[in-house]
Structure 1
Amino acid sequence: MANKGISLFQLNNQIKGVLKNSFDSDLWIVAEISEVRYNQNGHCYLELVEKDESTDQIIAKARATIWAYTFRMLKPYFETSTGQRFSAGIKVLINVSIEFQEIYGYTLNIKDIDPSYTLGDIARRRKEILNRLEEEGVLEMNKEVDFPEIPKCIALISSPTAAGYEDFTNQLENNPSGYKFHYKLFPAIMQGNQAEKSIIAALDRINEYEEVFDVVVIIRGGGSTADLNCFDSYWLAFNIAQFPLPVISGIGHERDETIVDIVANVRVKTPTAAAEYLIDCFDEKQAYHESLQEEFYNGINEILLEASENLHFLSNKFSPLVKTILERKSNQLLLANEKLIHSAKQLTKSHSFNLQNFKTKLKLGLEHRLSNEKSHSEHLQSKIGIRVGRLLENQKHKLSLHDHSIKYLNPENILQKGYTLTLKDGKIVKDISSLSKSDKIVTRFKDGLVESEIQKVNPKKHK
């Protein structure tokens, strides 16, 4: 007879029995929460996983349940003890009983949780991240970036709706000294699973305008330790540590120190403290300048006082000597003045005699010169008269010759001698080549005109 096998229910029932016999008491297990869901009755449903430490691949998975009456006690106990939200992504040490139902299969019923394990795991992960950053040589890189003496242009990473953003801007804009700051908001998500990616994206945008800004300020208001989990991210810390501008972190309260705080160039407690730090930089620079100015004024006053004392000393020391020298020079000046007056009188008298003598000689010289010039002028006038007379006679004779030539060449005279003049179009014909058959010509005689039409032109042939 053929084997009919067993039913699925029977198989599951046998598995249930095996599990119950093998795990007859509760167990403490370590797992990572990969998913958390709640229903309207207050029950919590979890998915637990274990990952390979070297590859980060999931090597085990199980469903778990915390019934409502247990979850109402475990959740606040865990969050108060650890400062972490009971959420996906954390490792837990939990006390479970193993259950198997024929319909729903294998599940774990969570009865208790040990917060100290989660705290230890968080501390271990932070230590691992810090060690990795140090081994890669980037842990202190941003701290080594020179902080500007006057951080005037600020790249700000924050949520635009956060109270911390408003606190920062109000503190910056209403500073008592009236310093002017220029800031640009690069909005980002500041908590939750998307915060790491969002803040890194904001840093990338700022990096495109690196030459515009002096510093980067990352701010958010305080919150629970769980709210700050994203700031313990390796990749976020890695990007901040290597950023070319100095980074100021103001993301929590005094009791909270994240990995981002550790790698940043400057760490302050709150957004308000970040604004105060920037204002203090201006105050320190102003105080330094005022100190230099005061030192300069004091130095000048000391120099002037010393010079005044030296001058007073020299004045007292040399006053009698100067007085004696001045009296001696005054007497010498009076004597020189008398000599000068006497010499001036003698010189004036001598120059007066010389001037009179020169005046007499000049008068005689001028009279002689005028006489010579007058004689020369009369002689030239006589010579010019003779030459002009001759020139006029020559010109008169030439004019007479020109007049005879004009009369001789007058066409009327030529006509009187029996010659004629031929005209074409009112112009005298001088060459037969200018005439053609049928041309109209006028022949002028001494006593009249004859109009003709040329019948034939016979030019003279050259031999």
Structure 2
Amino acid sequence: MSNKGISLFQLNNRIKGVLNDAFESEIWIVAEISELRYNQNGHCYLELVEKDEETDKIIAKARATIWSYTFRMLKPYFETSTGQRFSSGIKVLIQVSIEFQEIYGYTLNIKDIDPSYTLGDIARRRREILNRLEEEGVLDMNKEIDFPDIPKCIAVISSPTAAGYEDFANQLENNLSGYKFHYKLFPAIMQGNQAEESIIEALDRINEYEEVFDLVVIIRGGGSTADLNCFDNYWLAFNIAQFPLPVISGIGHERDETIVDIVANVRVKTPTAAAEYLIDCFDEKQAYHERLQEEFYTGVNEILLEASENLNYLSNKFSPMVKSILEKKSNQLLLAREKLIGSAKQLTRSHSYTLENQKSKLKHGVEHRLVHEKNHAKNLQSKIGIRVGRLLENQKHKLVLHEQSVKYLNPENILQKGYTLTLKDGKIVKDIRSLSVNDSIETRFKDGSVESEIQKVNPKKHK
């Protein structure tokens, strides 16, 4: 028998016995679910693997089964406890019994699962990714990019059929302030194993038009924590962190923060909140401009008010001085006129008296000497006539000069120089005390006059 060897069935039967003896009860093992499928009977078939931590190569593999009666309990228990979908790509701590059948070979029958291990593994992987990004110096690179004051041109990464994208677009287009936004959709898969590669490809397409856009918005609607696993990916976070435009993350969940949220320039809770954030940027800029405009108007009004007060001060100070000077000059002109008139009259009377006196003397002299000096009288009369004529011409010339002086000192000529005369009831106003509120006065200029009514009298204050 030994020369011929043993049959395959015998070999498998011995292996089954060895395994049964070595693993009499269930054991707990750690593995990653590589593949997972269900059949119509509700049974779940899995492929479990273990990978080298440094090379990520598979170093062990095994088939596993969860029978339907157990799977109906384990699946909701796991998903409720972890918030993760029971799917491939996650690490699990499971209780298994080792079974070996001569026909089907080695398989693991899963009896129980520990959700806390999966939660811990997810948290560990997140920490490792964040630490790696920080060590590489890229964790905060996108946050350090200055956010545009007026973000008008927006590149959007989303599924084109997602309700979140529709909410985002409606919020932008129907904003109450009527702001105009320009946005372009770059379609991508937003969950599942292909999401990472799809979103990175969308970022690469946007990067080709970097100068066109102001920022990037990554949005998707709400979902379970498992739907958001792709946003905890190292390479996706690495690309977003180093993207040359600021990135807004609006992934549509409130409880947890993904790694993409952490590396993005701005994180908001929902796609609608992303649109509201952009609208708020416009509101803030408009409010800033309104404040500048208000400050400008206030400054101008203050300058105008100060200038008006200075003008009123100078006007109030200058007006009494002008009035005083005009009154003084007017009084001087009137006095000079009266003196000129009196002097002219006195001069005329004096010359008239002189002429009458000389005429009388001449007459008496002529009468006394008429007989003896008739011829001499005739000559003398001729000379006297000539002298009298010259004297009269001389006096007439003086009178003309006096009249011109009087004319030049006339108030009408003063008006021609730009001064004005103020009259009340046809008389020149010489003292402000002669005026009262509601009095009618006439102000004469060189080319006319105006009539006005006094609203206020401001006497000069004497110190």
Q: Same fold (TM over 0.5)?
A: yes
Match of 2:127, SS state, is helix
Aligned residue in 2 for 1:135: 135
Residues 340, 148 of structure 1: alpha-carbon distance in 2 compared, 3 angstrom cutoff: farther
Aligned residue in 2 for 1:148: 148
| Bigger radius of gyration among the two | 1
For 1:90, the aligned partner's letter is I
Residues 308, 89 of structure 1: alpha-carbon distance in 2 compared, 3 angstrom cutoff: same
Match of 1:143, SS state, is coil
Equivalent-residue separation in structure 1 for 2:187 and 2:216 (angstroms): 13
Q: Tell which deviates more after alignment, 231-240 or 1-10.
A: 1-10
Aligned residue in 1 for 2:114: 114
Correspondence list, 1:111-260, <5 A: 111-260=111-260
Correspondence list, 1:425-440, <5 A: none
Residues 319, 21 of structure 1: alpha-carbon distance in 2 compared, 3 angstrom cutoff: same
Aligned residue in 1 for 2:13: 13
Correspondence list, 1:298-313, <5 A: 298-313=298-313
Correspondence list, 1:346-365, <5 A: none
RMSD of aligned Cα (Å): 2.2
State the 1:252 CA deviation: 2.2
For 1:186, the aligned partner's letter is F
Equivalent-residue separation in structure 1 for 2:106 and 2:314 (angstroms): 110
Residue-by-residue CA offset, 1:141-184 (whole Å, 9 max, x unaligned): 00011111000000011111000010000000000000000001
Residue-by-residue CA offset, 1:202-256 (whole Å, 9 max, x unaligned): 0001000000000100100010001001011101101110011100010022213
**TM-score, length-normalised on structure 1?**
0.71
Equivalent-residue separation in structure 2 for 1:251 and 1:100 (angstroms): 46
Aligned residue in 1 for 2:97: 97
Match of 1:155, SS state, is strand
Aligned residue in 1 for 2:59: 59
Match of 2:213, SS state, is coil
Please list every run of 5 or more consecutive structure 1 residues that lacks an aligned counterpart in the other structure. Answer: 343-463
Equivalent-residue separation in structure 1 for 2:150 and 2:191 (angstroms): 31
For 2:171, the aligned partner's letter is Q
Equivalent-residue separation in structure 2 for 1:340 and 1:258 (angstroms): 105
Aligned residue in 1 for 2:296: 296
State the 1:340 CA deviation: 11
Residues 102, 2 of structure 1: alpha-carbon distance in 2 compared, 3 angstrom cutoff: closer
Aligned residue in 2 for 1:431: none
Match of 1:150, SS state, is coil
Residue-by-residue CA offset, 1:87-125 (whole Å, 9 max, x unaligned): 111000000000000000110000000000000000000
Please list every run of 5 or more consecutive structure 2 residues that lacks an aligned counterpart in the other structure. Answer: 337-402, 409-463
Residues 302, 7 of structure 1: alpha-carbon distance in 2 compared, 3 angstrom cutoff: same
State the 1:330 CA deviation: 6.8
For 2:105, the aligned partner's letter is G
State the 1:313 CA deviation: 2.4
State the 1:339 CA deviation: 5.6
Match of 2:319, SS state, is helix
For 1:317, the aligned partner's letter is K
Aligned residue in 2 for 1:72: 72
Residues 338, 129 of structure 1: alpha-carbon distance in 2 compared, 3 angstrom cutoff: farther
State the 1:332 CA deviation: 9.2
Residues 142, 331 of structure 1: alpha-carbon distance in 2 compared, 3 angstrom cutoff: farther
Equivalent-residue separation in structure 2 for 1:315 and 1:263 (angstroms): 68
Match of 2:309, SS state, is helix
Residues 62, 313 of structure 1: alpha-carbon distance in 2 compared, 3 angstrom cutoff: same
For 2:34, the aligned partner's letter is S
Equivalent-residue separation in structure 2 for 1:155 and 1:330 (angstroms): 84
Residues 333, 220 of structure 1: alpha-carbon distance in 2 compared, 3 angstrom cutoff: farther
State the 1:317 CA deviation: 2.6
Equivalent-residue separation in structure 2 for 1:225 and 1:268 (angstroms): 16
State the 1:329 CA deviation: 6.5
**Percent identical across equivalent pairs?**
88
Residue 268 of structure 1 pairs with residue 294 of structure 2: no
State the 1:307 CA deviation: 1.9
Residues 2, 44 of structure 1: alpha-carbon distance in 2 compared, 3 angstrom cutoff: closer
Aligned residue in 2 for 1:389: none
Residues 8, 338 of structure 1: alpha-carbon distance in 2 compared, 3 angstrom cutoff: farther
State the 1:318 CA deviation: 2.9
Equivalent-residue separation in structure 2 for 1:226 and 1:257 (angstroms): 13
Runs of 4+ that moved beyond 3 A: 325-335, 337-342
For 1:242, the aligned partner's letter is Q
Residue-by-residue CA offset, 1:248-301 (whole Å, 9 max, x unaligned): 010022213110000000000000000000000000000000011111111111
For 1:141, the aligned partner's letter is M
Equivalent-residue separation in structure 2 for 1:275 and 1:331 (angstroms): 83
For 1:313, the aligned partner's letter is Y
Match of 1:34, SS state, is strand
Equivalent-residue separation in structure 2 for 1:203 and 1:89 (angstroms): 24
Equivalent-residue separation in structure 2 for 1:21 and 1:2 (angstroms): 24
Match of 2:160, SS state, is coil
State the 1:328 CA deviation: 5.5
For 1:169, the aligned partner's letter is A
For 1:36, the aligned partner's letter is L
Match of 1:144, SS state, is coil
For 2:44, the aligned partner's letter is C
Equivalent-residue separation in structure 2 for 1:222 and 1:333 (angstroms): 99
